[in-house]
Structure 1
Amino acid sequence: MNATVMDLLHDNAAHAREFSSRFDDVQAGQHPEAVTVCCSDSRVLQDHVFGNDTPGRLFTCGNIGNRVIQHTDAGEVVSGDVLYPLVHTATRTAVVVGHTGCGAVTATYAALTDGVSEPPGIEHCIDLLAPHLEPGVDRLPDDLDADGAVNRLVEYNVDWQVDALLDSDDVPADTDVVGVVYDFQDVYDGERGEVHVVNVDGERDPETLREANPDAADRIDRLWTY
């Protein structure tokens, strides 16, 4: 095995020593507090974003573009890996986690504006995002550079994924759905690595959200409204 795998095994041994006693209460089943839908970007340490070191606390899904939908013969539906904890483990909080500088959003923006050539697997993921981001591209201010456009589309993508969960008949009606953006590029005001709430149950207006959630007012922010 190569050095990378050996390093992973070494780090896993340390993990096992630290966590061996933390699985006692979840060996027979799970009842996570929330399902998080994160981008699989290597810079987004999915559980660490929320300081999670408790097995069973979060049901974490990851894919490029933090997508909640998949294509089936029946059409576009909420992905099973997102839906599972909502249907089978009584989880009633879903958090869609976008991030600044998202490569999937960047590639989709390029596909919609310039055209790109990608391997079929990546092209499939872009095709899942493109129809829903295209209206956002049309709404972008004219004076933005590429980075500014992408980071606004990151918010737009989070908004759409939140709406997809809220609009699905498969998602229990009492599920709270929150959209956030994880910032490690100093795009928002705040500490590098903070998540910024941009959407709560479909509401996107920052002032409205701050009034409704005063305890989290300093964590609510957006780059644009539309």
Structure 2
Amino acid sequence: MHQTVVDLLRGNAAHAEAFDARFDDVQEAQHPNAVTVCCADSRVLQDQMWDNDEPGELFTCSNIGNRVRQSTESGPVVTGDVLFPLQYFDTDVAVVVGHTGCGAVTAAYDDLTEGVDVSPGVRHCLDSLTPHLASALDRLPEGLDRAATVNHLVEYNVDRQIETLRQSDEVPDGVELVGCVYDFQDAYPGRRGEVYVVNVDGERRVDELRRRHLATDGRIYRFWEY
């Protein structure tokens, strides 16, 4: 067996020892307080970014580009993994988490500007991102380097995912929709690993968000108000 798997199992043994008693209250049912939709990037520590170590607290979904939409024969719909806790477990908060330097957003940007040759599976994912991001290209501020362009588009992509959730009749009324960006590139003003709120229920004006959400004022920040 590959040494990586041996190391993973060794780590799991330590996890099982530490978490043994923490499953007592959630063995038969779950009622997560939030569903998070994160990018499936090895640098994005999906539960640890919230300092969460409680089973049953978060319903965590991940895919490249933190997408909330999937294609079906009847047209695009919100992904079932996002809807599942909202519809069946009375979860009333959905958090979409993008991240600085996102590879999926970078690939989508490259596809829009020069085209990229990718496998059919990756193409399916990119095709879920590029239509949303295409509208941003003519609106980007001038003078951005490549890294800044990608990070502007990361915010824009989070906004589009929140918009998809807001427009869906399948998302129950009253669910709060929060868009965030996880930063490990020193792009935002705080520490590496901090999460910044960029959108709440479609509102993306920083001053207004700070006025409405005083408890999180220091964690509300955007590169781009368009």
Which residue of the partner structure matches residue 219 of structure 1?
A: 219
CA distance in 2, matches of 1:199, 1:144: 22
Cα offset, 1:110, TM superposition = 0.2
SS, match of residue 160 in structure 2: helix
CA distance in 2, matches of 1:220, 1:141: 20
CA distance in 1, matches of 2:158, 2:196: 12
Matched to 2:106, the amino acid is T
Matched to 1:218, the amino acid is G
CA distance in 2, matches of 1:194, 1:84: 28
Which residue of the partner structure matches residue 11 of structure 1?
A: 11
Which residue of the partner structure matches residue 135 of structure 1?
A: 135
Which residue of the partner structure matches residue 164 of structure 1?
A: 164
1:117 is aligned to 2:117: yes
CA distance in 2, matches of 1:157, 1:208: 20
SS, match of residue 198 in structure 1: strand
CA distance in 1, matches of 2:163, 2:136: 14
CA distance in 1, matches of 2:174, 2:225: 26
Which residue of the partner structure matches residue 67 of structure 1?
A: 67
Which residue of the partner structure matches residue 20 of structure 1?
A: 20
SS, match of residue 13 in structure 1: helix
CA distance in 2, matches of 1:148, 1:44: 19
Question: How do residues 1-226 of structure 1 correspond to structure 2 at under 5 angstroms?
Answer: 1-226=1-226
- The Cα offsets for residues 136-155 of structure 1, whole Å up to 9 and x where unpaired, read as 12211231111111000000
SS, match of residue 118 in structure 1: coil
CA distance in 1, matches of 2:123, 2:65: 12
Task: Report how many aligned residue pairs link the two structures.
Answer: 226
CA distance in 2, matches of 1:98, 1:76: 21
CA distance in 1, matches of 2:110, 2:139: 16
Cα offset, 1:199, TM superposition = 0.2
CA distance in 1, matches of 2:178, 2:137: 23
CA distance in 2, matches of 1:50, 1:79: 23
Moved runs in structure 1, 4+ residues, more than 2 A?
Answer: none
CA distance in 2, matches of 1:138, 1:176: 30
CA distance in 2, matches of 1:71, 1:110: 22
Share of identical aligned residues, percent?
61
Give unmatched runs, 5+ long, in structure 2: none
CA distance in 2, matches of 1:173, 1:167: 11
Q: What's the TM-score once normalised by structure 2's chain length?
A: 0.99
SS, match of residue 21 in structure 2: coil
CA distance in 2, matches of 1:174, 1:141: 35
Identify which range, 141-150 or 112-121, moves more after superposition: 141-150
- The Cα offsets for residues 58-100 of structure 1, whole Å up to 9 and x where unpaired, read as 0000000000000001101000001100000000000000000
